[in-house]
Amino acid sequence: MSRKNQTLGEFIIENQAAFKYSSGELSKLINAIRLAAKVVNHEVNKAGLVDILGAAGDTNIQGESQQKLDVLANEKFIHTLANREIVCGIASEEEDDFIQINSADNNHQNKYVVLIDPLDGSSNIDVNVSVGTIFSIYRRVTPIGTPVTLEDFLQPGRKQVAAGYIIYGTSTMLVYTTGHGVNGFTLNPAIGTFYLSHPDMQFPETGKIYSVNEGNYIHFPEGVKQYIKYCQREEEDRPYTSRYIGSLVSDFHRNMIKGGIYIYPKSSANQNGKLRLLYECNPMAFLAEQAGGKASNGFTPILDVQPEELHQRVPFFCGSRKMVEKAEEFMRNHS
Ligand code: AHG
Ligand code: MN
Ligand code: MN
Ligand code: MN
């Protein structure tokens, strides 16, 4: 079938055979995410209209205040995924513990665990700036027929079978990979259909954008400080342009299209940085590698890090391959 005007639904069916596990379950799972994405998109779009803005008054396990839309997106994704007999467990940035999906009625036959950051960049909601949702999918490692355990969630990112994000931006897009490249779909809000708008997305090999919260400069490791100075130096194709939205999804999306690097390093205040390995870094790293880019903790590929806990944080360097390699060189030389 011609790719012109291809919808996400058609794309999923057509590519099902190419999926690593072609039983159709992963397709159903992507379909469930597509549905939840539309529901959350609807809520995000009307955020300025109704009284769902502002903090919900709760804090999550990581001590961050939860926004109302954080909580709402969390509920929508969990309910949509749990109501289908595909997923055996869900872990979320907004939940203290992983959730076992009670599939006892089908003797725990469900194969997949899903990890989500239901709303990424949520501090941007109040100011009408793009936010996103990030998801990551693994095949369970404990035996089918038993309840899911923590071990099923603590798999290295290399084991992901699919990952992606939804960006609620000027357009709403769903971008995902099942390990066969990265494809982006744009929502036509009038009819609620995602169309394949960005087939086979690729990070430019190098770029001119660096994205880092420079307000924390004083606390950064020497390697990052030196790399930032390198980006700012008048030499060759530099100085680079600094762009930082504060929504990982949006910063990543822009850098993948235009070429750039995103850095959230460790700091003297926070030894592991801020971003979550399981909900943010692993899915973005899988997408980055599938799009010809790179993702590392400054020294080794993110996808090779063995997770030790659900809400683990990790320093994150991600983007165009040559830029990440250059930043790693600075990290090595100054450690
Ligand atoms: P979340 O809204 O899911 O908690 O994630 C926020 C993350 C990420 O999206 C963003 O890049 C980063 O926090 C921004 O942090 P700073 O404000 O410290 O720069
Ligand atoms: Mn948060
Ligand atoms: Mn986030
Ligand atoms: Mn979040």
**Nearest ligand 1 atom, CA 215:** 19
Same domain flag for 186 and 276: no
**Which residues are annotated as part of the binding site?**
93, 117, 119-123, 213, 244, 274, 280
* Nearest ligand to residue 247 Cα: 1
Same domain flag for 175 and 27: yes
183: CA distance to ligand 2 center in Å? 26
Q: Locate 229 and state its tokens.
A: 């100075």
Residues found in the chain: 335
pLDDT (0 to 100) of residue 241: 98
Burial of 95: CB neighbours in 10 Å, binned 0-12, 13-18, 19+: middle
User: Would you say residue 274 lies in a domain?
Assistant: yes
User: Would you say residue 1 lies in a domain?
Assistant: no
User: Would you say residue 87 lies in a domain?
Assistant: yes
**Ligand 1 neighbourhood includes 9 CB (under 6 angstroms):** no
Q: Which of 200, 234, 257 is the last residue of a domain?
A: 200
310: CA distance to ligand 3 center in Å? 14
User: Would you say residue 93 lies in a domain?
Assistant: yes
Q: Which of 94, 243, 248, 311 to mutate for ligand 1's pocket (most ligand atoms within 8 Å of CB)? A: 248
**Ligand 1 neighbourhood includes 94 CB (under 6 angstroms):** no
Q: What is the mean pLDDT of each run of 10 residues along the chain (335 residues)?
A: 80 77 81 95 81 63 77 94 89 96 76 96 91 97 93 98 96 97 97 96 98 97 98 98 98 98 95 97 98 98 98 98 98 95
How far is residue 5's CA from residue 153's CA, in Å, rounded to a whole number? 36
Same domain flag for 248 and 151: no
User: Would you say residue 237 lies in a domain?
Assistant: yes
275: CA distance to ligand 3 center in Å? 7
How far is residue 286's CA from residue 293's CA, in Å, rounded to a whole number? 9
User: Would you say residue 38 lies in a domain?
Assistant: yes
Q: Locate 265 and state its tokens.
A: 């390093």
In terms of residue numbers, what domain contains 227?
A: 209-334
Contact 319, 261 (CB under 8 A): yes
| H or E element that contains 59 | strand 55-59
User: Would you say residue 53 lies in a domain?
Assistant: yes
Same domain flag for 58 and 81: yes
Question: What are the distances in angstroms from CA 334 to CA 146, 266, 327, 330?
Answer: 48, 14, 11, 6
Same domain flag for 132 and 277: no
How far is residue 230's CA from residue 233's CA, in Å, rounded to a whole number? 5
Beta-bridge partners for 113: 89, 138
**Which residues are annotated as part of the binding site for Mg(2+)?**
93, 117, 119-120, 280
Q: Which of 166, 200, 234 is the last residue of a domain?
A: 200
User: Would you say residue 2 lies in a domain?
Assistant: no
Give the count of domains, the chain.
Answer: 2
pLDDT (0 to 100) of residue 48: 73
Same domain flag for 164 and 250: no
Same domain flag for 46 and 181: yes
**Ligand 1 neighbourhood includes 70 CB (under 6 angstroms):** no
Nearest CA to ligand 1 atom 16: 246
Q: Which of 155, 172, 200 is the last residue of a domain?
A: 200
Same domain flag for 302 and 241: yes
Q: What is the pTM of this model?
A: 0.95
**Ligand 1 neighbourhood includes 246 CB (under 6 angstroms):** yes
Nearest CA to ligand 1 atom 11: 248
Of 43, 39, 246, 45, which is closest to residue 128 (Cα–Cα)?
Answer: 45
Q: Which of 275, 276, 311, 317 to mutate for ligand 1's pocket (most ligand atoms within 8 Å of CB)? A: 275
The b/e string for 149-181 (b: 16+ C-beta within 10 A; e otherwise) is eeebbbbbbeebbbbbbbbbbeebbbbbbbeee
**Nearest ligand 1 atom, CA 64:** 4
**Which residues are annotated as part of the binding site for substrate?**
120-123, 213, 244, 274
Nearest CA to ligand 1 atom 6: 121
Same domain flag for 164 and 276: no
156 preceded by cis ω (within 30°)? Answer: no
Task: Say which CATH number the domain at 223 has.
Answer: 3.40.190.80
Same domain flag for 140 and 39: yes
Task: Say which CATH number the domain at 80 has.
Answer: 3.30.540.10
249: CA distance to ligand 1 center in Å? 9
Same domain flag for 186 and 136: yes
Burial of 100: CB neighbours in 10 Å, binned 0-12, 13-18, 19+: middle
**Nearest ligand 1 atom, CA 93:** 3
Same domain flag for 125 and 225: no
